[in-house]
Amino acid sequence: MGKIVVVDDEKMVTSAFKTLLKVEGLSDAVFFNNPEEAVEYLKTETPDIIISDFIMPEMNGLEFLTQAKKMYPEVSMILLTGYADKENAIKAINEIGLYKYIEKPWDNDDLIINIKNGIERSHLLENLREKISELETAKSKLEEYSQKLEQMVDERTKELTAANAKLSGIINYCADGIIIIDNLGIIEQVNPACENMTGLSAQALCHMRLQEIAYSDNIDFNKAGHNKNGIFGLGNDKSEILIRDCYIRNSLSDKRIPVEINFASISTDGKPRYVGVIRDVSLQKDTERLRDDFIATLTHDLRTPLLAAIQTLKFFLDGSLGELEDKQKVLLSTMLQSNEDLLGLVNALLEVYKFESGKLTLCKTVFNAKDLITQCYDELKPLAEHKNIEFVLNCDMPDDTELCADKGEIKRVMINLCGNAVNYTNKNGKIELFAKAQSGDFIFSVSDNGNGIPKEDIPHLFTRFSQGTSKKRSTGTGLGLYLSRQIVEAHEGKIWLETKMTKGSEFTFLLPNAVVKNLKNERQVVNG
């Protein structure tokens, strides 16, 4: 239960204690008749309770317990005293802080209860001291951590303040406009460059809708805020979007400024928001227009000498200017082919310019669809046969199906797609043409069993000067597919590609509402 130290100068008393404690099962006890010996013992052994007589010759009980208290302040101590020394005992309890005093002769039951309670008290005080020590250690560590935390917070605050000042400087002095809008397109914040573009102050712009200052040919800003995925359909699967062909209205000059806006999704306070960078592309647009005008002028001026050269070469080859030797005919034929190729490039560049500048007006007529498809098929069939390619036409429509479109431009698209298929299909391959009318739409496809097109090349195929793929280059102008897309889109249609490596490709275009019914015996011209 606990170690008991008993000190009394009378051996009879210590003997009586030994017997009593043994009877009560308190066997872990040591007995001293000399208090000085007890002090030496306590220097190396820790007791749970100390019981000492008051009057002893070498050292009285108060002196002994005072020394013991210095060594073990939490240990319970009991002073044995006679009745005459009662007042001194009480005074000693108050001064030294003893647990109990017991008058002689003592009651055994009362003594045992006090011993057991004293041992329990010692244990409780020891545990309490340990807890206090632990709390003081924890408090010390907490204070140290608190100081470090404050230091970290101060350092982080300084870093954030510096970063915020730097960011504010970038935003305020950025040449591009910066705008923050919510999920409904309502403006929440702008920078000075945006104020200059719009001619409005930040205070006036905030709480306005984006469509009040901007409009685009590609995106309907009025419907943007009603998309369940947020403005412009930005959701978790799409973090940003670039809007081209967009314009900002300047309220002061009443001018429209061509811009590109790059929107990115951000989230604050759990609410979706979007930050947009508005870049003025006026200079870029002017440069592109000047470049296109230069190319158009140059190519237009090249047509006359090219046509003259081609006609002259034809005069030589048809014998109008005298007979030629075979070597001369071969050389002149090569020159004629090169000039015709160059004329084709010039014409293609002019067509590109017309489409991009909006100067080309479609001349829509009503014509027989099957006749046009068959004409294209017949023109390209010899080229396919030269490479021993199986050239198949599948026309799933009535013979009298008629289309309302620009016949010449649609033929150009068909020839481009079929010609590419012949050029890129290996010898002994197969090309199939598919044409059908479906729900008023006209659909035309060209499929081959060639090598296919790498996935990384697909996005570039319908752009200007696209030269085949990264694996195989074309010697053409690189404008065929680009012009085809322009022509189809001018008819409000769409063109696309499906391909698999080593298995071939399929190009398809669709003209919506192009099939004309009940006009078998009529022909009308529609200016688009």
Strands (E), 41-160: 49-53, 76-81, 100-103
Q: Which helix (H) or strand (E) holds 350?
A: helix 326-357
CATH number of 363-527: 3.30.565.10
What per-residue confidence (pLDDT) applies to 374?
A: 93
Q: Quote the tokens at residue 235.
A: 């959701």
The torsion region of residue 432 among left (phi > 0), alpha (psi -120 to 50) and beta comes to beta
What per-residue confidence (pLDDT) applies to 392?
A: 92
Q: Which helix (H) or strand (E) holds 128?
A: helix 108-173
- Residue 353, classed as helix, strand or coil, is helix
What per-residue confidence (pLDDT) applies to 361?
A: 74
DSSP string, 186-229: BEEEE-HHHHHHHT--HHHHTT-BGGGTEEESS--HHHHTT-TT
The architecture of the domain spanning 175-280 is: 2-Layer Sandwich (3.30)
What per-residue confidence (pLDDT) applies to 217?
A: 64
Q: How far apart are CA 57 and CA 174, in angstroms?
A: 97
What per-residue confidence (pLDDT) applies to 309?
A: 82
Residue 477 phi, psi (nearest 5): -75, -25
CATH fold of 4-128 reads: Rossmann fold (3.40.50)
End-to-end CA distance of the chain: 110
Other CB atoms within 10 A of residue 99 CB? 19
- Average pLDDT for consecutive 10-residue bins of the chain (528 residues)? 87 89 88 92 92 87 88 89 69 77 84 88 88 89 88 89 83 86 87 89 88 74 51 54 82 86 79 86 83 71 78 82 82 86 75 66 89 92 90 90 91 90 88 91 91 76 60 55 87 88 85 74 39
- Residue 311, classed as helix, strand or coil, is helix
